[in-house]
Amino acid sequence: MQTANLTEKLERLPKSPGVYLFLNNKSKVIYVGKAKYLPTRVKSYFQQDVTLGTKTQRLVASIYDLDYIETRTELDALLLEAELIKRYKPRYNIALKDDKSYVYIVIRNESVAVQARSRPVNIPKILVLRAQEIEKKDTVFGPFPEARVVRNTVRRLRRIFPFRDCSISKFNKYSKMQKPCLYGHIGVCPAPCLHAGGLVAHQKSIVAMKKILSGQSNRLLIEYKNLMQKASSEQRFEEAIEYRNTVSRLEYVSKNPSSATDYIQNPTLAEDSRQLALKSIALNIPLLNSPPVRIECYDISNISGKNAVGSMVVAIDGRIDKSEYRKFKIQTKTTPDDFYMMSEVLYRRLKREISTQASSTKWGMPDLIVLDGGKGQVSAVLEVFTKLNIDIPLIGIAKKFETLVYFKDGKFNELSLQKDDEGLKLIQQLRDEAHRFAQSYFHKLRLKELKS
């Protein structure tokens, strides 16, 4: 039976990824689950019009209370879920999903023959396995209840850190043929079967994957950033670019990673980080007098001006809110001009906000606007502010050095924050989301054009 306390908690669930724990009337954890979006996932158990299986019905009937830990990323939620299942061994995790059906991420050492070596070489591989497939000497991460989510996560990480997953017979086959398999061709395996360089790259990937799966992504990011800076200072620029690309892809996948232990020790870690970010933004950007409640970030996507689109992503109280996202199809320009397109998007968005028409639904005036770009984009939008006679704190973030640009006291100013500053991380996250959202809409329009 759904209690008043449980109903209240369901309405207060944060719009973010996280882990939820169902408790019985003795405050014992009976089920642990993970969600990409907590409200949708958790509320689905209590919807009247949804038909539940017998086992799930028994679970729902036993739920007396709810607890949750909000996480900053879905990857954090995945690792935290596995840790809490191991810690609590909840009754209904076993009842709803036979333990044999859980999956584990496994690193298995194998001794294989390499053409260039006189003796077999130990080359690990990474697999996603069921419990009954695990061997004694395997390094195991898990258990994870959702095989599909785990396999998708491993595939995403493999694009950043390529690794081997083949059988010994397949390894030997391509080693003798002296050519890579399909995975080697597409770059998700460094082909340790062929050459020493591939073997070294593979070992580095294994070390990196172990750190990520142990919740040490943040430490790994720091290591790669240091390697990038060292390579750059020693003028090994191609190597520095490779490190930079790895850092960028890892940051996109993990986004300010934290370990399961961090969340267990401080369940409000995600909220604390957001508040710290907002305070940092207010402290460092002179245009602001207090932490911004609503932050909007904009980006433009086009090829030679065709099918040009703009995106708006929003953070409320430091939490990205996808329900507030908006997209714009550029109407007045068909040639490349990012500055003009940015001004069109902001004019349409803000004109709507100050419109007196009763039919115009208001989105809410932003406390801070962030643009993907530098002085050119900021100048274009400042002209929009003049036309509309409004004044909103406005900054741009220039990609090259992640410098913040703003206009104050009649001149442009630049601000460089520390790379580990929470405020900068939030602005970067918004910029990356705006870019992703704009690209997604652009590709949709482009595909539609090609089909027609």
d(C-alpha 209, C-alpha 160), whole Å? 10
How does pLDDT run along the chain (452 residues), one tens digit per residue? 566 788 888 989 998 899 999 999 899 999 999 998 899 999 988 887 666 667 788 888 889 999 999 998 888 898 899 889 989 989 888 765 554 568 899 999 988 876 656 677 788 999 999 888 899 899 998 888 878 888 888 888 898 889 999 998 898 888 888 888 889 888 899 988 887 788 888 999 999 899 888 878 777 878 888 888 888 888 888 878 887 878 777 766 666 667 788 898 899 999 999 999 999 999 999 999 999 999 999 999 876 657 788 999 999 999 999 889 999 988 877 677 889 999 999 999 999 888 866 556 789 999 999 999 999 999 999 999 999 999 999 999 987 788 999 999 999 999 999 888 999 999 998 998 998 888 888 778 777 777 76
pLDDT tens column, 47-101: 876 666 677 888 888 899 999 999 988 888 988 998 899 899 898 887 655 545 6
pTM of the model: 0.72
* CB count in 10 Å sphere of residue 93: 23
CATH superfamily for domain 4-95: GIY-YIG endonuclease (3.40.1440.10)
CATH 3.40.50.1000 describes domain 273-451: no
Place of tokens 């770059």: 187
Place of tokens 């958790």: 42
d(C-alpha 26, C-alpha 320), whole Å? 35
- Angle at alpha carbon of residue 62, lines to 60 and 67, rounded to 5°: 80
Q: Residue type at 47?
A: Q
Task: Give yes or no for a cis peptide into 143 (omega within 30° of 0).
Answer: yes
Place of tokens 């970030």: 297
Burial (Cβ within 10 Å: 0-12, 13-18, ≥19) of residue 182: exposed
Q: Residue 267: which of 18, 75, 89 has the closest Cα?
A: 18
Task: Give, in order, the Cα–Cα distances in Å from 290 to each of 16, 280, 286, 416.
Answer: 24, 10, 10, 20
| Cβ atoms of residues 372 and 299 within 8 Å | yes
| Cβ atoms of residues 346 and 354 within 8 Å | no
d(C-alpha 71, C-alpha 211), whole Å? 18
Element (H, E) at 450: helix 422-451
Domain boundaries, given as residue ranges, for the chain: 4-95, 101-214, 273-451
pLDDT at residue 308, rounded to an integer: 85
